[in-house]
Structure 1
């Protein structure tokens, strides 16, 4: 079994695949220990898996889930959260469980989408990430109001002040941000960077070309968010990605081709041989340090880059 296969175990489910409305996810986001979290039960329902299987997948990849990514609620925290939510369906669904629930932070959910290998996980992960980003925008815009609230009232007031129209505006703004020609992410913004990169990958309709000297299985977690049938060619000088990793990826997300080259120093993402982005960090490290993503607006430069990649393809296939 390759590293990629072992790190991304399948969580089997026979439930039908259902699209998740990201506008409804914000009601499942709670505040515990000063962090925005989602409960394991709610995540399991969104991903159409059993709660025990979701937690088992995380436990088997424990090195990916430190305490600030995933933690188990104390009895007091569990009771307090029950009081906040009351008799909501979320809490009713936890009846009869033998252990205290696990809470997943924003970073933990981003990591969780990499270890759950179901079609539902692919479809819902972006919706969940957008809900977290939208919640942060909403809280930031109303910071003055929330400074007057304490403890439990902070979470409750956030939901009471929100309306469907308010969140629709936030989501429209979020979608508009993807179109900005330049974006900068600062150290620690791994979730936001992952969200934007997967959004860009998901835009391609026919093919994706990625120039990145340091590609590994974490890069494949981003590329897995592509549309079905979109071909991917990766140009890299590194050897962190084995043929076994490529074969495992292609078994579920065909078709990935890896070409070895030392021609490039910088990183580029090209969609459908038409739109190119210059990326300041390897996809696997996006958000770990400050970096930028720039849309290449000069059509001639984009054409020159694409022609260079075509020459490399012809040389390696000759």
Structure 2
């Protein structure tokens, strides 16, 4: 048997090849009769002498179609131009066909026909044409079939890339890599859909088993288009997105994802803003992560159980014949106790159920990653979907470790943030630190950062105490605040001199400086001379008496226990305040 039969397929009726080599055992030709990239099998009568069975074109057009769409186009062009040129030419050909077919529609004036074709029509319709072209497989060799499968799958990949190139997602410029990565885990993304498919396929709904009312699983309840959606569309969608997904942005040091996140963290001036940003990075993982770690739901159930037990105790002290003082109705304490027991039982079922679901998801992911089976699953599983689930899970864990390393350098523990928002990407971290834009394996450095975080809680909230005669420490601390300013410095202090001007020379050139103080002719002269040489300082006199001193760095307000020029001479403190800068400025100026 020859390795290929593709060379016996005819591009036109003028140059046909009649053969009995087709795997079906039939004698005939595979030919594009009209030159429209639609190939049919034209059978012949062979009883010792070959004779035409179809003598007219109309008769030939009744023969079965065996190849069309991209496959038919490739059969025409494969010997003339390269595969990229074939893909580009076919894409253009189909786009022009679609626009031509719809440009006379009554509402064509308000439709973007190109976007309509590329984003919605082309790929689904092409999949159907590829399926239709599998009729050719009955006639050609196994190696030919593999070739057509490869060409078809690569074209679909090309079409998806074209769609993203021509109509990319609309992400903020500073979050393009980040949002593109996180989109996979958001609702509707491939990681999310893979997880949801697993829940339906293996009967692992979000709620416990006692919530099943019909006795049927979610999969058994699927019918019609929803059954087809689950059985065919979702596995195809997940596989395609899995194939196209660029995980290099995360797994390579120069991939760009962690650099983008680090730059964004730098642009936030306060601890709270950084925490909010980090939570926004965790939010897309919420549903996917909960499949593997249901701690938030479990903790809620444990609290509910504790409330029920406390309520039971209160009812145990109520006589069974007691009545409501307002209504006179019997309280029926025994029934209330039984109701509490019933709820406790259901909540405990939920906790046990979620633990089983966690174990099942972990097994499915590990199976997809090729890990040894430490136990068998309760049924046969879809290996392709397991492979996708395993990879999405692995990437989530890697992302959590990378993120934990970056946030640690800002004095933020990712474990604390997970507790705060109830989204647990990872429960046990293996720290790989991120220093100067390079990943390094350094457990000692990680331990040092963690220790610093634990030992400097007062520093984190901006509290600092200076004893008498600690002038240099106080000056050095204030210089650090000035150097850290990114946008503005505002000083509210009734007692200033040239030492304050010396302090403000340490700010960055693009950082504005404003001083609110009492009338002082000498300092006005000093500031005028300062402004001729350095980045200007705005000097504003108080409109009212102000006793305390405040230093505003960007959007953070510090209450200074002494005039800045005298800090450390005697016992004093600095405290970060939980108010906006505008509140201080308004009270000083109005």
**TM > 0.5:** no
Structure index of larger Rg: 2
Greater share of helix: 2
TM-score (norm 1): 0.40
